[in-house]
Structure 1
Amino acid sequence: MDFLPIKRALLSVTDKSGLPELARFLVAAGVELVSTGGTRKLLEASGLPVTSVSDVTGFPEILGGRVKTLHPFVHGGILADKDNPEHLSTLATHNIAPFDMVVVNLYAFGKALEKKLPLPEMVEQIDIGGPTLLRASAKNFSSILVVPDPAFYPEIMDALAQNDMRAPLPLRQKTAAATFRQTSTYDDAIATYLANA
């Protein structure tokens, strides 16, 4: 679709700069916010209504936070092609609400590298859920707006404000391309580290 209405957003970020402003903008436009852990706490502390991912999945965060968003109620809502009636029917059958926007940035693996942490601690700095959310959203840019970096917040708020809270396809494709570049760089840093650790 050329213009995607933004009604429901998933936010889960390490870099929280600018997030309260973006979240306030979304809430003011009637967008439902869903979030995890520290991001959810920040949004709640900012006085914003937010639904916990655990409430969406019906399952708590487990394994010390390693498993939070890896669930069909999350990824089904992200990967559904909104132009495909069969996908929409599947969502309805399984009571999965679609997402329209995913705002995610990754654990700061580069900063962990600078600290020269021991291998087991470095392994814990490898983000799994974040890249999975980003790649799934970027793949499905025809049906979702992925936001991989706070640098995009002003452009996205401006575009949504100008288009009645609908994300234009060129913007979605642009952020999808940036997302794949970012996850590629992230994975390369991890691969280089592990090959030399």
Structure 2
Amino acid sequence: MKNIKKVLISVTDKKGIVEFAKGLQDFNIEILSTGGTASRLRDGGIHVTDVSDYTGFPEMMDGRLKTLHPKIHGGLLALRNDEKHMNAAAQHGIDMIDMVVINLYRFEDTVAKKDCTLEEAFEHIDIGGPAMLRAAAKNYKYVTVVTDPDDYPRVLKEMKE
């Protein structure tokens, strides 16, 4: 597995996330996180840097705007073997993000509720998560993507090997 120094964790399904983050910290990996995920990790004794502290830009619009920032997407999209990319990142204070741990809002669960309003459905359309997953996938040579909590033990095992 690639040399991972920084990971961004933003999950709806928090099953096993504290244990996984502890495993990542055993490798001295810095953890960035958002909102409820950051709170859960802190409650579990994990040192976390809030995305808003890293970007210098607060979460806003009732949580609609958290991770849509050049310091996040630049850190995911920069080609590590491209001098221009790395110079631009350095010039703008963009650190490389080597892994994303993301699972998306459960839109289908929301709209399946009998009393779900159109407004509630719209609020559960995930924007930042899919954008980060696509950015990471586009840069698959340098960014590891983890979406399924059942994969956490396997990822840690592979990192140890």
Q: In which range does the TM-score fall when normalised by the shorter chain? A: over 0.9
Aligned mates of 1:85, 1:142 — CA distance in 2:
16
Aligned mates of 1:21, 1:83 — CA distance in 2:
32
- State yes or no: 1:132 paired with 2:131: yes
The residue number in structure 1 matching 2:32 is: 34
The Cα RMSD (Å) is 0.9
Counterpart among 87, 90, 96 of residue 89 in structure 1? 87
Structure 1: gaps spanning 5 or more residues? 163-197
Q: Which 10-residue stretch deviates more, 4-13 or 116-125? A: 116-125
Counterpart among 34, 51, 54 of residue 53 in structure 1? 51
Superposed CA deviations along residues 67-94 of structure 1, whole A, max 9, x for unmatched, are 0000001110111111212111111111
Cα drift, residue 151 of structure 1: 2.1
* Aligned counterparts, 1:76-115, within 5 A: 76-115=74-113
Percent identical among aligned pairs is 48
Dislocated runs of 4+, deviation >3 Å: none
One-letter identity of the residue aligned with 1:102? V
Q: Which 10-residue stretch deviates more, 124-133 or 148-157? A: 148-157
The residue number in structure 2 matching 1:11 is: 9
Q: How many residues align?
A: 160
Cα drift, residue 155 of structure 1: 1.5
* Aligned counterparts, 1:138-177, within 5 A: 138-162=137-161
Cα drift, residue 119 of structure 1: 0.9
Aligned mates of 1:60, 1:95 — CA distance in 2:
17
Aligned mates of 1:49, 1:81 — CA distance in 2:
28
SS of aligned partner of 1:64: coil
One-letter identity of the residue aligned with 1:122? A
One-letter identity of the residue aligned with 1:32? E
One-letter identity of the residue aligned with 1:131? P
Aligned mates of 2:151, 2:37 — CA distance in 1:
18
Cα drift, residue 113 of structure 1: 2.2
Structure 2: gaps spanning 5 or more residues? none
SS of aligned partner of 2:2: strand
The residue number in structure 2 matching 1:180 is: none
SS of aligned partner of 1:153: helix
Counterpart among 65, 68, 86 of residue 67 in structure 1? 65
SS of aligned partner of 2:87: helix
SS of aligned partner of 1:159: helix
SS of aligned partner of 1:10: strand
Aligned mates of 1:121, 1:44 — CA distance in 2:
28
Aligned mates of 2:108, 2:15 — CA distance in 1:
18
Cα drift, residue 114 of structure 1: 1.8
